[in-house]
Amino acid sequence: MIDLSIDCGGIKSPNPFWLASAPPSNSAYQNCKAFEQGWGGTVWKTIGEPVMNVCNRYGSIDYNGQKIAGLNNIELISDRPIEINMKEIAETKKLWPDRAVVVSLMVESKKESWHDIVKRTIDTGADGIELNYGCPHGMSERGMGSAVGQVPEYCKMITEWVTEISTIPVLVKLTPNVSNIVMPARAAKAAKASGISLINTINSIMGIDLNTLKIKPSVAGKSSHGGFAGPAVKPIALHMVSQVALDKEVKLPISGIGGISNWQDALEFILLGASSVQVCTAVMHYGFRIVKDMIEGLTFWMEEKGFHSLDEVRGKALPQIDDFGNFNLLHKTVARIDQAKCIHCNLCYIACEDGAHQCIDLIPENGHTKTIVRESDCVGCDLCSIVCPVEGCISMVRLDDGKEQKTWNELTNDFKNEGKELTWENLGEFQKKYGIVIH
């Protein structure tokens, strides 16, 4: 039996897959339709201040034939009245008592405003609250959204206003538009938040139409910065989730967000410490049905690997993350090309010759060129295998046995203990002393 159920800061759901606070979670109709497909939870599209949205809200980056590799939006929070949203939240929770219904909130920075909307949210029977400290467009200009998330003191103050009266779990959604994501996360922890959601969208301008010279999206000839999401932001999101998960002061459950399109993406977030995962852009692209593949794929993977619950999986990749100074300098790999699979496109040669370390030779053979790696000069950078279009054609082969380790921190500290500071002039002496060959 595989158990996909999760508990994210006191908010429980039958599986980790939640809709993110966004257009797909805007109404009872949409959220109930999502639950019918199998979604474990939803974070209701942010409600709060009166707004009016505009036409032409989205811009996208299409790359190499893939539509919406990245999606930019200038959409604001829900433009439906609070009363209608609250009514539908209550109705949805009654219809789906086993699913997580979390309500995203954002109002002006006044204690009485926050107290009022929090009390009204609790009255709906919702399972939790998510504080939107992340919107980079529109609301930040009004002193809300990322304007709060970028200032830890504001983050702490408003979160305290909420947690002092909330009787249900409170998640704090953080903006990635900061220099250090850990600081607002610590502020949320200090304010007694139940968990952290991250990341919200990344500040961006999507591009310019070179025929009309208009910035995309264009609203009657005007545009602005917006929030960037979709598959392209996943590496940034994974990094920030891992930063929060590893911080010894935060120690809060995490709801991971950012570029999740399939079960593999979701699993990566879980392996880096996330309890639940939230999805938006992929649903806007492909619809609610994608959750069926997510549930099935994650279940099969767990069966294959011998895991029974997500508690056994969560955070298993975190111990691999370390400082550069603790890497083993004796770890040595070189590239090897499977000539039987090579299609002689020479991309590996071009990449190595112009962008790396000039250690691949072109040898004429039977009317074409054969690519050969000079292993004595190969630094094991892995660029050639990355650009190779043939799966498994170029492999990075390990040469060291892994028995001996020497890290930069260890060796430089040892050098200092002998009264020497490492300089370019004595780098050769340093390498020779410790048996490290640097190309």
198-255 residue pLDDT tens: 999 998 888 899 999 998 888 778 777 778 899 999 999 999 999 999 999 999 999 9
Q: What pLDDT does 391 receive? A: 95
As for how many domains the chain has, the answer is: 3
Global pTM?
A: 0.93
Q: What pLDDT does 79 receive? A: 87
253 and 340: one domain? no
121 and 202: one domain? yes
**Residue 1 forms part of a structural domain:** no
Q: Per-residue pLDDT for 137 more than 70?
A: no
Confidence grade of residue 136 (pLDDT, cut at 50, 70, 90): low
Peptide bond into 199 cis (omega under 30): yes
Q: What pLDDT does 239 receive? A: 98
Question: Burial of 284 by CB count in 10 Å (0-12 exposed, 13-18 middle, 19+ buried)?
Answer: middle
438 and 311: one domain? no
Q: Domain holding 378: CATH number?
A: 3.30.70.20
Q: Domain holding 198: CATH number?
A: 3.20.20.70
Look at the alpha carbons of 164, 169, 175, 180 in this order and tell me if their dihedral is positive or negative: positive
Q: What percent of the chain has pLDDT over 90?
A: 72
E-assigned strands of 280-416? 333-337, 360-365, 368-373, 394-398
346 and 313: one domain? no
Q: Domain end: 294, 318, 342, which one?
A: 318
Mean pLDDT for the stretch of residues 98-127: 96
264 and 305: one domain? yes
263 and 345: one domain? no
Mean pLDDT for the stretch of residues 352-359: 96
244 and 177: one domain? yes
Active-site residue flag, 135: yes
* pLDDT tens, residue by residue, 271-293: 999 999 999 999 999 999 999 99
Mean pLDDT for the stretch of residues 256-260: 97
From the candidates 135, 348, 359, 393, which is the catalytic residue? 135
Mean pLDDT for the stretch of residues 28-33: 98
336 and 437: one domain? no
Residues spanned by the domain of 394: 324-398
Give the separation between CA 217 and CA 206, rounded to whole angstroms. Answer: 8
* pLDDT tens, residue by residue, 3-24: 999 999 999 999 999 999 999 9
**Residue 381 forms part of a structural domain:** yes
**Residue 269 forms part of a structural domain:** yes
Mean pLDDT for the stretch of residues 313-320: 98
